[in-house]
Chain A
Amino acid sequence: MTRPTPTSSESQVHPLPALQESRVLDTDVGAVIGALTLIVVGLWSRHGGVADLGDSAAKTYMSLAQLTGLLCSEAGLLGLILITRTPLMERRYGLDRMFNWHRLLGEAMAIFLALHIAFSVAAWAIPSGTVNAIQSLTGEEPYMALTSVGSVIILLVTISSLKLFRNKLSYEMWYFVHLTAYFGLAASFSHQIVLGTDFADDSLARGFWVAIHVALIAWIIWSRWGRFFVAVARPLRVSAVTHEAEGITSIVLSGTHLRKAKAQGGQFYLVRQLVKGRWWQSNPFSLSAQPTTAGLRFTVKSRGESSNAFTNIALGTRVIVEGPYGVCTPDVVNSEKVLLVGGGIGIGPVMSFLEQLKPEHEPIVLYRVSSEQEMSHVKELEALAAARSGSVHTLVGHRATLKVADPFSSDVLLKAVPDLAQRVVIVAGPESMVKAVQRGARAAGVPAENIHAERAWW
């Protein structure tokens, strides 16, 4: 059992304070999306987009190509805002939700891109034929060769992120492909300004378009990369490594910079080793103990090339952490009683969450794990629960070997936790388990706003 312990030089260990709450509202996010859409569609309409619809076929296709192109860009811009990981949104929605929206916007962008290409070819094909149209749109028109390369990259990035293909790629491979999207977007920008008539012919529109792109790049550099370089300048070191169970290791990261850090149980960090050949790989790891000035503990399962590198990490290795992220923190609980459900490695965030609860929460922990060899931190978990007048129930075994079909159906949950409806439910684990718990808890009478899920990181 490795808990961060004070070293002799540190006089006092105290838990890290919580990050500030975001003041951004849903309505604010809606207003920004609405206003950007208004401007994009208004720009198209003002430049004759509506008037051209239903005119000659060439004009109709041209108009649709412009509209889909603009909407494609809008989806890209919104997707990049999420990439900034701005605390304004992260503190309110959580990074996992932002990543999910980023994925949806990426899909929308790919659909608009496909339509934009189809309409453009159709518009050019009317006077000159499809072959000539494709020729001029992939090379002859200014900047179109570059744009074509960019489009192919964007489509590849989108395809590699589809669930079907994403599961077949290693995280590292997918991440590397994903990074090329920056180049894809940059490569397509020039044709928008030069060829896209909305901007070539209207200096005010062009100024606006360039300005929001420049502003966004500046925001990404400042927010995303700025924070990255701060993290690089303040590395932590691995101060303890413990083998917890088969394929499961806990590591403690410590450093003097933690004295000014803010974090809470239930949150996660993006962690990377400052080791040759590994520094560019970041892994999302959940805190598995309450973060203190003495250290951050993560419990890691070997699940891919780069997480394996963490389960075998050497003491003293320099590690940089970005974060904390995630909004499933003890802040979501007031004085209600709490049910915590952890599946597999999801027991990590459950433990760090539990540690910050009080006896009034009477926490009950359900620990779902597919085999006994993979159970970790059991004694620690029981001690933490007992100290908070709570209890731990474990459910071990593959689904097929269980006595009940759905271990998280409302009947089963209510039998284990009779006062379930009065509790706040916290769930962390694989997506299928999270969904099963959400379904069962809802059926048992827990209001949706009292169920909080965190995707299981490693």
Chain B
Amino acid sequence: MVVVSKKPTLGRQIFPAVALTVVGVGFISQLDNPGGDVVALEGAIGTVVPSTLVTNTTLAPSPVISVEGSGTCDGDVVTGPTAVFKWGSLQLQASFTKKNVLCNVTVLNYPNEDDKSLGINESALPVYNQEAIEAGSAQIAVVSGATDSWRAYTAGLQAILDAHPA
């Protein structure tokens, strides 16, 4: 290694580190921050029996996305809390069999105010429903480009499953 002939000043040694740190922190603070407030769950969990279920259309301002699993959903129907996240709010309703196995998930509410959100959610949410029913849990894989919805979805579903142990 070449020994620098003139000893650099302290300022010359420190300045690049300080400048680059400031730039780096500034850059990071400008990034999207979905991690910060994804799982703001609002509202209580309600359990309803199937017969008293109010029609979905009155509950949901957005088109309902639902996938039926195998098995008869003759057990509890649980409406989850509203997961408020960066792009809006997402609410799930889960149905169980008599043996308390997750058999159906209905998305009551999801961000659909702009075409981008609508497009992402309409393709991703049915996948998440399908995966959740197959897994019987909130341990599902993310769909590319729909990470924020995945975080909100799994948070909401986990809240339901926590409140309704098998």
List the interface of chain A (C-beta within 8 A of B). 21-23, 25, 27-28, 30-32, 34-35, 38-39, 42-43, 45-52, 56-59, 62, 91-94, 97, 123-124, 126-128, 141-142, 194-195, 197, 200-202, 204-205, 208, 327, 331-332, 449
Secondary structure class of chain A's binding surface, majority of residues: helix
Beta-carbon contacts of B124-149 to A below 8 Å, as 1s and 0s?
00000001001100111110110110
A-B contact pairs, 23 of them (CB 8 A): A21-B4, A25-B4, A27-B16, A32-B20, A34-B17, A34-B21, A42-B25, A46-B28, A47-B35, A47-B147, A56-B138, A56-B154, A58-B154, A92-B1, A124-B141, A127-B134, A127-B139, A127-B140, A194-B144, A197-B142, A202-B31, A204-B30, A205-B32
Q: How many residues of B contact A (CB 8 A)?
A: 42
Q: Which of B100-133 contact A (CB under 8 A)?
A: 131
Rounded to whole Å, the gap between the CB of A46 and the closest CB of chain B is: 5
Q: How far is the CA of A192 from the CA of B14 in the complex (A)?
A: 34
Which residues of the other chain, A, contact B35 by a CB distance below 8 angstroms?
A: 45-52
Besides the contacts A21-B4, A31-B16, A124-B141, what 18 more A-B pairs have beta carbons closer than 8 Å?
A: A21-B5, A31-B21, A34-B20, A42-B28, A43-B28, A48-B34, A51-B36, A56-B138, A59-B154, A97-B1, A128-B134, A128-B141, A197-B142, A200-B147, A201-B32, A201-B145, A205-B31, A327-B1
Q: How far is the CA of A205 from the CA of B19 in the complex (A)?
A: 20
Which residues of the other chain, A, contact B135 by a CB distance below 8 angstroms?
A: 126-127
Chain A residue at minimum C-beta to C-beta distance from B23: A35
Secondary structure class of chain B's binding surface, majority of residues: helix
Q: Do A197 and B144 have beta carbons less than 8 Å apart? A: yes
Q: Do B4 and A58 have beta carbons less than 8 Å apart? A: no
Q: How far is the CA of A327 from the CA of B2 in the complex (A)?
A: 6
Which residues of the other chain, A, contact B19 by a CB distance below 8 angstroms?
A: 31
Beta-carbon contacts of B141-166 to A below 8 Å, as 1s and 0s?
11011011001001000100000000
Which residues of the other chain, B, contact A22 by a CB distance below 8 angstroms?
A: 2
Which residues of the other chain, A, contact B5 by a CB distance below 8 angstroms?
A: 21
Q: Do A58 and B141 have beta carbons less than 8 Å apart? A: yes
Which residues of the other chain, B, contact A194 by a CB distance below 8 angstroms?
A: 144-145
